[in-house]
Amino acid sequence: MTIDLSQYVQILVCPSCRSNLFIDKQSVVCRSAECRRKFLVKDDIPVMLADDAQTLSPDEWSALVANQASIAS
């Protein structure tokens, strides 16, 4: 069973900076250009621990944001 991550991103925020999140495949990503954290989803549950998150490079984060914008359009 795969859970709909859009339900999570409507109610969760980044634990590091409190910014909104967006979905990238099977992860959720912080919308803050300063924070740029990517949280993995394990067993259909986002792991929202700042210590377990990956901090994306500015280029990686920008590419994901651009991809998210093109999907939303």
Q: Which CATH class is domain 5-72?
A: mainly beta
b/e map of 18-45 (b: 16 or more CB within 10 Å)?
A: eeebbbbeebbbbbbeebbbbbebeeee
In the block, tokens 């990956």 appear at: 54
Q: What is the pTM of this model?
A: 0.87
- The pLDDT value recorded for residue 73 is 62
- CB proximity list for 63: less than 8 A, separation 6 or greater: none
Q: What is the pLDDT along the chain (73 residues), one digit of tens a residue?
A: 567 788 888 899 999 999 999 999 889 999 999 999 999 999 888 999 999 999 999 999 999 999 888 776 6
Give residue limits of the domains in the chain. 5-72
In DSSP terms, which residues pair with 24 in a beta bridge? 27
The encoded tokens of residue 18 equal 């409190």
